Amino acid sequence: MTTLIVGGGWSGLAAAIACVQRGEPVHLIESAKQLGGRARNVSWNGHIIDNGQHLMIGAYDRMLAMMMSIGVDTDSVFQRQAMDIVIYDTEYPALKLSSKSFLPWPLSLAWNLASSAGLSGLKQVAILQSSIENTLKSKDISVSEWLLSKKQSKRLIKQLWEPLCLATLNTPIKEASAHLLAIVLRDSLGKGKPAADLLIPRQPLGDLFPRIAAKYIQQHGSKVSLATRVKSLIVEQQKVTGLVLGDGTQIEANTIIVATNLSKSNQLLSSYIHYHLPAEYPICTVYLQYGAETRLAAPMLGMSGTISQWIFDRSEQTPGLMAVVISAPGEHEKMAKEALISLVCKEIHQLFPAMPEQVEQGFVIREKRATFACTVGIEQQRPQHQTDIAGLWLAGDYVANNYPATLEGAIRNGENCAKLMVADLK
């Protein structure tokens, strides 16, 4: 009997691909009119943009391998560039976490850090980095407790660690898990230059993977249904036997992978499985359309001391388009769209005076449930792929792995879930 996969985000798609690659036919069911979930296309102003600015890094090895396995030329769809993070602050000089210099990795990184944060800043960062393995062996604490215990300065906390923690864990430092941040730092900065490279998509997110994934799944004899909501699962005597769609149709199955986002999974599964994960946190992207000739000094720049956190130059896809990211909960959530656009525009002009004071058009996308909150102790709370209900499996970025909510985590979980499930069937 065909395996059903509920949810056509990057995780469900990865699960479907891994199944068909192992000779297991699937029917993928997605409630939205398009695939991609939290990493999808949106139309605005005659252009296709992303539902939210995403950044990938060279350490996303499963994502890259999965894309290559379905024929995506990862060298051409991503602009790969050496890590070059410069964070501008309202009170301190710019801080550089960048490997762009004549020196080899990681000396280039140290050189740029020492020249922007001084030798004491470099020393503090080295102390924190050398404490990663011990931190991982100890009980989890919050990122702010970790930073204070390693005597990080007020400046480094504000201008480096807080922006990095928000960008990677989407969780404020007082709540965020030191373990997860330590893993992210180890797997990006600690594994050499290629792992830390920035991968900037040259295409909208939906064209990068979901569209090609769907074609691949269908070409391999499996089925993809859009605009089809799964209302409930059918479980009899601790065994899954099918599901019910929104229109009441029942589909029989003895294997189902649920690859929905955390809150939807909770709704579908609450009668059968009990796990408790923390809240989901928002990410807001403010798109600013300047004159077509406007360019940022780099593909992305960090900002601290402002509501705006990161700005990305999207000119390669749409000339003069910038995407400003605001992660985690905050004051901006209460602001009306127009007020937020004008505040963000003002902050950008203040920190980067070469950027125009006025924007031609602005657009705000608030993803209220962008990621699960990566709070202290989260590792113990994440569920496993296999459930206590026979035939019922879980994928999705929130299922147990070492990563925060990322595309890499979503793909890894989809692929691993499919591998375990197929092995179990055989």
Ligand X SMILES: Cc1cc2nc3c(=O)[nH]c(=O)nc-3n(C[C@H](O)[C@H](O)[C@H](O)COP(=O)(O)OP(=O)(O)OC[C@H]3O[C@@H](n4cnc5c(N)ncnc54)[C@H](O)[C@@H]3O)c2cc1C
CB of 370 to ligand X, least distance (A): 3
The residue (of 95 and 407) whose beta carbon lies closer to ligand X is 407
Radius of gyration of the chain (CA): 22
Does 39 bind ligand X (CB under 6 A)? Our answer is yes
- Nearest distance from residue 124's CB to ligand X, in Å? 26
DSSP, residue by residue, 277-327: ---EEEEEEEEEE--TT---SSSEEEEESSS--EEEE-TTTSTTEEEEEEE
Size of the site for ligand X (CB under 6 A): 36
Tell me which of 27, 54, 155, 158 binds ligand X, using CB under 6 A. Answer: 54
For residue 34, what are its two tokens? 């398009």
180 binds ligand X (CB under 6 A): no
What three-state secondary structure class fits 338? helix
Of 50 and 140, the one with the shorter C-beta distance to ligand X is 50
Decide if residue 375 touches ligand X (CB under 6 A): no
Contact indicator for 165, 179 with CB cutoff of 8 Å: no
22, 32, 254, 342: residue in contact with ligand X (rule CB under 6 A): 32
**Identified binder of ligand X from the candidate list 397, 416, 417, 418, rule CB under 6 A:** 397
Q: How far is residue 233 from each of residues 25, 226, 240, 389, measured CA to CA in Å? A: 20, 18, 7, 11
Please, is 134 exposed, middle or buried when counting C-beta atoms within 10 Å of its C-beta (0-12, 13-18, 19+)? exposed
Least distance (Å) between residue 277 CB and ligand X: 13
User: DSSP string covering 248-273, please?
Assistant: S-EEE-S-EEE---HHHHHHHHTTT-
Q: Do 235 and 60 meet the contact criterion of CB atoms below 8 Å apart?
A: no
Q: Which residues contact 67 (CB under 8 A, 6 or more apart)?
A: 74, 77, 208, 209, 212
Taking alpha carbons only, the member of 360, 341, 344, 349 closest to residue 290 is 360
Binding residues for ligand X restricted to 251-270, rule: CB under 6 A: 259-261, 264
Query: Residue 135: helix, strand or coil by DSSP?
Result: helix
Q: Does 280 bind ligand X (CB under 6 A)?
A: no
Residue (9 or 320) nearer to ligand X, CB: 9
Q: Residue 76: count other Cβ atoms within 10 Å of its Cβ.
A: 9
Minimum separation from the CB atom of position 144 to ligand X (A): 22
With respect to ligand X, which residue has the nearer C-beta, 117 or 311? 311
- Does residue 10 touch ligand X according to CB under 6 A? yes
* β-strands 3-6, 256-258 pairing: parallel
407 binds ligand X (CB under 6 A): yes
Q: Could you say whether residue 30 binds ligand X (CB under 6 A)?
A: yes
Give yes or no for residue 201 binding ligand X (CB under 6 A).
no
What is the DSSP secondary structure assignment for residue 38, as one 8-state letter?
T
| Binding of residue 55 to ligand X (CB under 6 A) | yes
* Residue 41 engages ligand X in binding (rule: CB under 6 A): no
Least distance to ligand X, CB of residue 75, Å:
19
Distance CA 206, CA 210 (A): 5
Q: How far is the CB of 114 from ligand X (least distance, A)?
A: 28
Which of 230, 253, 392, 417: binder of ligand X (CB under 6 A)?
Answer: 230
Query: Applying CB under 6 A, does 234 fall inside the site for ligand X?
Result: no
| Cis peptide bond N-terminal to 25, omega within 30 | no
- Residue 370 is a binding residue for ligand X (CB under 6 A): yes
In the bound complex, what is the minimum distance in angstroms from residue 195's beta carbon to ligand X? 14
Q: Is residue 345 at the binding interface for ligand X, with CB under 6 A as the rule? A: no
Subset of residues 283 to 312 that bind ligand X, contact rule: CB under 6 A: 283, 285
31 binds ligand X (CB under 6 A): yes
Tokens 């004008």 belong to residue: 342
Backbone angles phi, psi at 57, to 5 degrees: -130, 165
In one-letter notation, the amino acid at residue 365 is I
Minimum distance of ligand X from residue 426's CB (angstroms): 25
Minimum gap (Å) between residue 252 Cβ and ligand X? 17
Total residue length of the chain: 426
Q: Which of 3, 11, 159, 306 binds ligand X (CB under 6 A)?
A: 11
Distance CA 283, CA 174 (A): 18
Among the listed ranges 66-74, 345-353, 402-410, 418-426, the one in contact with ligand X (CB under 6 A) is 402-410
Residues in contact with ligand X by the rule CB under 6 A: 6-12, 29-32, 37-39, 52, 54-56, 229-230, 259-261, 264, 283, 285, 367, 370-371, 396-397, 405-408, 410
